[in-house]
Amino acid sequence: MPSTTSHRPLLLPLAGAAALTLAAGIAAPAATAADRVRERGDVVRYDTALVPEDARARVTATYDRKGGTEVVLRVRGLLPDREYGAHVHVNACGATGAAAGPHYQYVVDPVQPSVDPAYANPENEIWLDFTTDARGNAVARAEVDWQFPANRRAGSVVIHAEHTSTEPGMAGMAGARVGCVTAPF
């Protein structure tokens, strides 16, 4: 049975979240209640030692009526019994891992690359770290209390070489980009 990781962020105080949303100029969510995004297929491989040729992934994003989002990542055929990091990124996958751009942040850190825990955290980004089982399979889930605005959607889930750091100055870092799945959120 694949391992399952779930991140449920702490809720920001309502007044603080509203202020951050207004300050960032974020538009209304693109999705309506019960909308869903589903993408599956081969993983774009950037590191053939950590992502075998037959690796596959499925990404599902579900948007609820309360304005939240649940993202589920299912992977098959990765290295067995290994920790990987994974995050939603701004752009679609490309020829290199850099093509996916930075982590998607609901409230964008004005300093890039973002390593400030005030911005690089599982409440403001979508973190999907996982550990594969003996067959190289895993499932990761993340829930956030926001949806992707229509004018600023995300484009992929990038698989990283390590679990995500929460240390100040290293927050959000997860090592090399080893694979990618395009998912138009």
pLDDT tens-digit map of 113-159 = 999 999 999 999 999 999 999 999 999 999 999 999 999 999 999 99
pLDDT band at 42 (very low <50, low <70, confident <90, very high): confident
Among 78, 85, 76, 82, which residue's Cα sits nearest to residue 58? 76
Residue 152 exposure: Cα atoms within 13 Å on the Cβ side: 14
Domains in the chain, ordered, with CATH?
33-145+153-182 (2.60.40.200)
Average pLDDT of the residues in 24-51: 70
As beta bridge partners, residue 84 has 130
Q: Are strands 56-63 and 36-42 parallel, antiparallel or unpaired?
A: antiparallel
Among 147, 134, 141, which residue's Cα sits nearest to residue 74? 141
User: Would you say 100 and 44 are in contact if contact means Cβ atoms under 8 Å apart?
Assistant: no
Q: Are strands 44-45 and 138-144 parallel, antiparallel or unpaired?
A: unpaired
pTM above 0.85, yes or no: no
